[in-house]
Amino acid sequence: MKIGNIELPKYAALAPLAGVADRAMREISREYGAVWTVGEMTSSKGLSYGSKKSAELLEINEAERPTAVQLFGSEPEVMAEAAKMALEYKPDAIDINFGCPVPKIAGNGGGSALMKDPELAGRIVRAVVDAVDIPVTVKFRAGWDNEHLNAVEFACICEANGASALTVHGRTRTQMYAPPVNWDIIRRVKEAVSVPVIGNGDVVSPESAKALYEQTGCDLVMVGRGAMGNPWIFKRIAHYMETGELLPEPTPEERMAVLKKHIKLLCQYKGEYTGMREARKHSSWYIKGMRGAAEFRRECGALETPEDLENLIDKVLLASENEGEF
């Protein structure tokens, strides 16, 4: 598929998970087969006010490419200015967030709140498209609630205003991340527009990725929570789609090696203090399903130094070795 002039292979992309899809996560995901990544959502107002924290979210490494930065906001002029500022970081595309359901974003008119005002959303897309010379993509939901499933109308407005690709999360804002996910509305969006459509929602395995492709006809699938502590899901999806065979789950040694590399990158990009505190959640995701995971998760929550992580990994591997399985 093509996003503007960007040619992407199949099969799966990393979703712009707030607080998760940072440079380290994106780099690891690309290494394990993600064909496209989108960075954490960044406030257009924060950028325009000179927020250092907002600007840091836009930093990109060459190992991540191709990648997009994601902006949110409700004012066309501010979004356009933020998009121009984002060009300094040389993203391959700008993604607009019309899907975030959290109250502090949607409650202030950003994210999924724009689904209640498609006309304003269209003006935001047009303003950003006119402001930059790279592709502009849009991520949104099935609708605000079950009484307002307007994703098809919304998609057509975004396309008409210049969006190069659309990502549809098959849940409403009121659902947040609760089941069920509505893949049918992704299919309907795909049938209604001519630009590429990326399907998102409950892709947690190679089998679910294939089912989303088959049921919606989407051009690409996007993996969010299914990639947390599980970056090899991208490689496993590609292999399954191409051969129909499931690659084995990674061994305990492979899991811990990737965890160690992931946290090393976190500390490299954010400093040891911040990196190790963020390592706590990532470590708990990597050990999920392993022998003694419940006990080890408590230790994850107390990680403070790389040495702490080394000790935890040694314990996890010893437990796996003693049990003979994980």
CA distance 309 to 267: 12
SS3 annotation, 242-299:
HHCCCCCCCCHHHHHHHHHHHHHHHHHHHCHHHHHHHHHHHHHHHCCCCCCHHHHHHH
Rg from Cα positions in the chain: 20
From 100, 158, 218, 267, the catalytic residue: 100
Q: Is residue 100 flagged as an active site residue?
A: yes
Degrees (nearest 5) of the Cα angle 213, 1, 3?
Answer: 120
Contact status, residue 6 vs residue 135, Cβ threshold 8 Å: yes
Contact status, residue 38 vs residue 95, Cβ threshold 8 Å: yes
CA distance 32 to 275: 21
Q: Which residues are catalytic?
A: 100
